[in-house]
Amino acid sequence: MTSYPSFIETDPQANVLNRSFKLLIDGELKSAESTFDVFNPANNEVLAQAPSGTVDHVEQAIQAAKREFRSWSALSADERAEYIAKFADALDKHKEELTTLLTLEQGKPFHSMATGEVDASIFWVREVSKRRLDVEIVEDTDEHTVEVHHSPLGVVGAITPWNFPVLLSLWKIAPCLLTGNTMVLKPSPYTPLTALFFGEIAAEVFPPGVLNVVSGGNEIGQYMTSHLDIAKISFTGSIATGQKVMASGAANLKRITLELGGNDPAIILPDANWREIVPTLFDAVFGNSGQWCIAVKRLYVHSSIHSEFVAAFAKYASTKKVGDGMDPDTDLGPIQNKMQYDKLKDLLKDTREKGYRIVLGGDIDESQKGNFVPITIVDNPPEDSRIVKEEPFGPVVPIIAFDDIDDLINRVNDTHFGLAGSVWGSDRQKAIDVAKRIEAGTVWVNEIHIHGIDIPFGGHKMSGVGVENGSEGLKEFTNTKTYMFHK
């Protein structure tokens, strides 16, 4: 078995695995008749058993949320915010256990990515509790008043992925509850434990039925997306699944928010101080082992600096360690699940068979127990190659030379993805001009992966529908309601 940090062995409260994980339905922690195994991706050993929720469990959760919606939505925003702030405080008290559990089931390094995710999540919940959607006065004359209000939708179904299971769940929970809705949350079956754990915490904070957490397979997600008593689905995941969610939600014209895949470009202009940004770009490409939708998936570097950049980038990357996330020396953890691991194996096989120049990595040591994929850099593959066109969702990146900016923009935009991108150059205005031509929901200039409570985030094209965060993100959980008064 893997050796874990001493505090897990010496502190019973920190030993998050020494528990029975349960569903949260109508304020009660419930077992299921059957369970499923959850694996540690660092060694592929069984970590714990999670309850296998059924359609009946989901139905109970939906009906509890529907019942409680009347009382919860009747509270003032300030009253709901008080509950949410208490939830943030309760999460904060258990953040070490939550971080440990996150590393064990997801793989990301405890001392960096996992700690950062949990800290950011708690901060996010607390800050969202301070936000409000004010009444908008459109007209107010001696004869007539027009007001725009934002009323809650009802029961929201949230379906979350395995790459950021804590952050992306709480991104949905906090604004959903603040705006007066209730929720049924279904975490990924690959990483259900963190959600079930903070379900236990939520049971001590919220009134019964406000937040429900049901783990299980795809069948319960499908049940949620077509259920007539669910008013909205908030989904983060793949484009293919997002298409199914949207089609299923048509049964009652659900409100839909989809945050889907990306194939994000980073453009390094010839005047960029590229030596200084190599560490930043490394993190932007390989953070979370490349398992995030907004990771840089395509590095475009001007031909005048391309060779030097590739050499420096590969040299820096070669100093980083891929390993067990519980090891304090680990920089990048394993691929979270075998399905994604096998996809990366196939992609690397195609890259080798096509004869593309692999500068670093490329060969997976399958004798290792964990789902470890080496940091891989591919130099100047053709634009129509799989390594350029597809979203690897792993520690693999092509670095592609360009000369003409107009041609480059055409290449960058020739994709059904449109999540994010970045441009790097010393001439700020020139970089901004390039950024404005990129077809994506978020484009950074001389920075990357900056998010904020008040900054809307969403994709263009097939990278998503709707936004999260900011006032626009709050409004996604509401109906616009217009009142007009004749005086």
Active site residues: 259, 293
Label residue 23 left, alpha or beta by phi (over 0 means left) and psi (-120 to 50 means alpha).
beta
DSSP reduced 3-state for 164: coil
Rounded distance between C-alpha atoms, residue 199 and residue 23, angstroms: 8
Q: Which helix (H) or strand (E) holds 158?
A: strand 155-159
- Which residues are bridge partners to 11 per DSSP? none
Q: Are 325 and 114 in contact (CB under 8 A)?
A: yes
CA 71 to chain centre: 30
User: For the CA atoms of 80, 81, 87, 88, what is the dihedral angle to 10 degrees?
Assistant: 170
Please state the length of the chain: 487
Rounded distance between C-alpha atoms, residue 23 and residue 193, angstroms: 10
The dihedral sign for the CA sequence 241, 246, 247, 249: positive
Q: Which two tokens stand for residue 249?
A: 């939600």
DSSP reduced 3-state for 155: strand
Distance separating the N- and C-terminal Cα atoms of the chain? 75
Count CB neighbours of 50 within 10 A. 24
Label residue 180 left, alpha or beta by phi (over 0 means left) and psi (-120 to 50 means alpha).
left
Q: Which helix (H) or strand (E) holds 408?
A: helix 405-413
In eight-state DSSP terms, residue 301 is E
DSSP reduced 3-state for 91: helix
CA atoms within 13 A on the CB side of 25: 20
User: For the CA atoms of 442, 444, 449, 451, what is the dihedral angle to 10 degrees?
Assistant: -60
User: For the CA atoms of 398, 399, 400, 406, what is the dihedral angle to 10 degrees?
Assistant: 100
Q: Are 368 and 44 in contact (CB under 8 A)?
A: no
φ, ψ (nearest 5 deg) of residue 353: -65, -30
